[in-house]
């Protein structure tokens, strides 16, 4: 009897009941916060990249025209720097196989001498209708301007440039968003080429010539030379 009383007293002291089930304590689950990814480093400004990469000072890329991707910024600057210096080894490592064959012909035809005549290269970047990144280069050679357009396929640590067909005198046909306007013109040319022979019109040097010989402009107006409205810094295209 005494042992029974002591046992019950012990149960009561430690919060239990004699002869009853122990109370189950509910334990709240521990919620572990997922570690947050470190913030992406800010994109290096174009001016700093120009100095860091020792880019030819004839190359101009406005910060607002530059790609958001730093790897594409670096690739574009390195590519056109190599182009200006006719650096065949570097250029070949950055272009598609078909363009490598074309490059050999350009070098044999005096690419180095032609690039020596370039006084300014203005770069513009954008996308085609399918969102494929591309970069446009406007070369100033005396009072003449030549345009190149290249797709950029970025693979992280490397980028491949693929040339896009550019007709002559293209600089006189572009305004506003030059890359967007280029693809609009390209689509117009494709539509014209598909017209029946009796309705065929063709575009030549920015003019639309119909089958009856009449002429009319069917292209957007654009800058014809240096000036504030051109593609580059104030007073230059």
Kindly report the three-state secondary structure assignment for every residue of the chain. Answer: CHHHHHHHHHHHHCCCCCCCCCCCCCCCCCCCCCCCCCCCCCCCCHHHHHHHCCCCCCEEECHHHCCCCHHHHHHHHHHHHHHHCCCHHHHHCCECHHHHHHHHHHHHCCHHHHHHCCCEEEEEEEECCCCCEEEEEEEEECCEEEEEEEEEEECCCCEEEEEECCCCCHHHHCCCCHHHHHHHHHHHHHHHHCCCHHHCCEEECCEEECCCCCEECCCCCCCCCCCCCCCCCCCCC
The whole-angstrom separation of Cα 62 and Cα 231 is 10
Q: Please say whether the beta carbons of 168 and 117 come within 8 A.
A: no
Confidence label for 25 from pLDDT (cuts 50, 70 and 90): low
pLDDT of residue 31: 66
| Mean pLDDT computed over every residue of the chain | 77
Tens-digit pLDDT profile for residues 73-130: 999 999 999 999 999 999 999 999 989 989 999 999 999 999 999 999 999 999 999 9
Q: Which CATH class is domain 46-167?
A: alpha beta
Q: Residue 124's beta-bridge partner residues?
A: 136
Query: Using CA atoms, how far apart are residues 94 and 7, in angstroms rounded to an integer?
Result: 87
Task: Tell me what pLDDT residue 194 has.
Answer: 78
Whether the pLDDT of residue 28 is over 90: the answer is no
pLDDT in tens, 184-231: 988 888 788 777 765 554 444 444 443 334 433 333 332 223 333 345
More confident residue, 181 or 9: 181
**Interacting residues of 30 by C-beta distance below 8 A, sequence separation 6+:** none
């Amino acid at each position: 009897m005494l042992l029974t009383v002591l046992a019950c007293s012990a149960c009561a002291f430690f919060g239990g009941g004699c002869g009853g089930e122990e109370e189950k304590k509910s334990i709240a689950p521990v919620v572990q916060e997922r570690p947050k990814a470190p913030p992406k480093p800010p994109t290096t400004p174009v001016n700093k990249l120009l100095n860091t990469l020792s880019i030819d000072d004839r190359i101009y890329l406005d910060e607002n025209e530059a790609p958001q991707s730093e790897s594409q910024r670096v690739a574009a600057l390195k590519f056109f720097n190599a182009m200006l210096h006719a650096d065949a080894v570097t250029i070949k490592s950055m272009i598609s196989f078909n363009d490598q064959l074309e490059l050999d012909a350009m070098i044999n035809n005096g690419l180095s001498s032609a690039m020596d005549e370039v006084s300014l290269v203005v770069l513009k970047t954008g996308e085609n209708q399918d969102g494929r990144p591309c970069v446009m280069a406007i070369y100033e050679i005396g009072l003449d301007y030549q345009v190149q357009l290249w797709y950029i396929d970025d693979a992280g640590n490397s980028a491949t440039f693929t040339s896009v067909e550019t007709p002559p005198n293209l600089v006189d046909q572009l305004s506003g968003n030059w890359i967007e306007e280029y693809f609009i013109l390209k689509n117009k040319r494709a539509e014209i080429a598909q017209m029946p022979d009796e309705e065929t019109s063709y575009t030549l040097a920015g003019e639309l010539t119909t089958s009856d010989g009449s002429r009319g402009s069917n292209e957007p107006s654009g800058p014809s030379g240096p000036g504030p409205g051109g593609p580059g810094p104030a007073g230059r295209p």
